[in-house]
Amino acid sequence: MSDKIKLVYATSKGELRFEPELKALGAAGEEYWELTEEDLIPLPPGANLFYLPGRQPLGLEIKTGEVEKIDEQEITAVAAILPQGYTRLLLPAYQRLPAAPRLPLFGYTAVAFMGEQLYVAARCTDDLKKWDPLVYNLPALPTLIKEKIASYPRNRILRQLAKCAQEYHCFTAQNIFYERWEGGIPVSPTCNAQCLGCISKQVAECCPSPQGRINFHPSSEEVVEVALPHLDGEEAIISFGQGCEGEPLLAWPVIKEAITAIRKKTSKGTININTNAGLPKALEELAEVGLNSARISIFSMDPDFYCFYHQPQGFDLLQVGESIRRLRKRSVFVSLNLLALPGFTDRKPQMERMFQFLDEHPVNMIQIRNLNIDPDFVWGKMKKERKALTGEVIGMANFLDELAAKFPEIIVGNYSRAL
């Protein structure tokens, strides 16, 4: 045990403090784990610190080794929100008060203080160059937006992306105006799932979504106007299925028509779709006209827990597996967008289900996504629906190591590649 790693908390004035008598803890599900130097990296550039209202910070008492809370009304626990390219290893450790509000949809990560600086329980798991916050929100962005919209004044997608780029600071929206890397093209205002952590629409807005969903049905002509100039850019990707929309496969005829028109004019760049893969035949048709890659979001490869989180309408995990089979048959690069939650993803029964699924449905890549959700909400909903979590939690670091060891042919990272 290291006495150097101290508990961090926030005062009522918003000041960060550390408690010299308490060692820092992280949470894996509802278990508390002492943070070690192997768990920690310095707080990365672009990370944000959040105060967790109604949550009393927990630490490990140096002398007794007991879990203790700082029992003061005006003190709150603290968490970090990581930039892309980092995988969270542990959740913040706290005791939730009965009247605590539900947390917004962010990926909360354990924070500690050591050697005069802040650390987080995380691992850098991808190349950061294209997702470094320093290369976004540049001074030229407003001018580039005006110029692009002036070129296509009737294009509703561009007006939506302008909002996403400036109000939500969405990187894939901004890339459309920078004409580089991965650029998002939203196409669908509706969805055939009700994911618990959906960032564009929450049932009854019980927890405000950080992004508003598009409210129109784009035409294939609008898609082509946005896509063609972008595909001439540096390591260009156009992606359907963004945070500001529903399920893009519900607009698959429009996407198919657009891809067909695009590929008649250029073979450049990568055409990608981010999807729940609930419509295998639609994905197959898109692959036949030029879809290059697909990223499939998934919380669990256990059918019961898959339905618990995604709440799919008209499909289940069987359709997801069939979609992967059809895509791979047509040489589409398939990634799983693994929605990772410490204490769930790294639990042995979940890992066994995942490894079995990957044996049956090989993929090219797994993109780790820190699930943006209030952990207490997830655990509470599981208990309410009597979904017992069984088996040992081995930790996200060990999970990542076992995944790499068992499937060395699978790329493990955090975001899409240009092909």
Q: Is 301 exposed, middle or buried (0-12, 13-18, 19+ CB in 10 A)?
A: buried
Residue 196 CA to residue 336 CA, distance in Å, equals 18
| Mean pLDDT in residue range 233-256 | 95
| pLDDT for residue 209 is more than 60 | no
| Mean pLDDT in residue range 321-327 | 98
Query: pLDDT digit string (tens) for 350-373?
Result: 999 999 999 999 999 999 999 999
Domain positions in the chain: 6-124, 129-413
107 pLDDT band, cuts 50/70/90, is: very high
Which residue type, as a one-letter code, is found at position 36?
Answer: T
Tell me whether strands 111-114 and 270-275 are parallel, antiparallel or unpaired.
Answer: unpaired
Residue 274 CA to residue 248 CA, distance in Å, equals 8
| Mean pLDDT in residue range 249-264 | 98
Under a CB-based contact definition with an 8 Å cutoff, are residues 26 and 346 in contact?
A: no
145 phi and psi, to 5 degrees?
-65, -45
| pLDDT for residue 120 is more than 80 | yes
Q: Name the percent of the chain in helix, strand, coil, to the closest 5.
A: 35, 25, 40
The predicted pLDDT at position 208 comes to 47
Question: Residue 135, Cβ neighbours under 10 Å: how many?
Answer: 16
The predicted pLDDT at position 203 comes to 43
| Mean pLDDT in residue range 181-202 | 89
The predicted pLDDT at position 205 comes to 40
242 pLDDT band, cuts 50/70/90, is: confident
| pLDDT for residue 2 is more than 90 | no
Q: Which residues contact 331 (CB under 8 A, 6 or more apart)?
A: none
CATH fold for domain 129-413: TIM Barrel (3.20.20)
70 pLDDT band, cuts 50/70/90, is: confident
| pLDDT for residue 255 is more than 60 | yes
Instruction: Name the residue with tokens 């001018």.
Output: 143
Residue 247 CA to residue 299 CA, distance in Å, equals 16
The predicted pLDDT at position 14 comes to 86
The predicted pLDDT at position 73 comes to 76
Strand partners, 114: 117
Residue 282 CA to residue 253 CA, distance in Å, equals 8
Contacts 24+ apart (CB under 8 A), 349-354: 349/302, 349/390, 349/391, 350/300, 350/301, 350/302, 350/305, 350/391, 351/394, 351/399, 351/402, 353/300, 353/301, 353/302, 354/300, 354/301
The predicted pLDDT at position 72 comes to 78
Under a CB-based contact definition with an 8 Å cutoff, are residues 249 and 190 in contact?
A: no
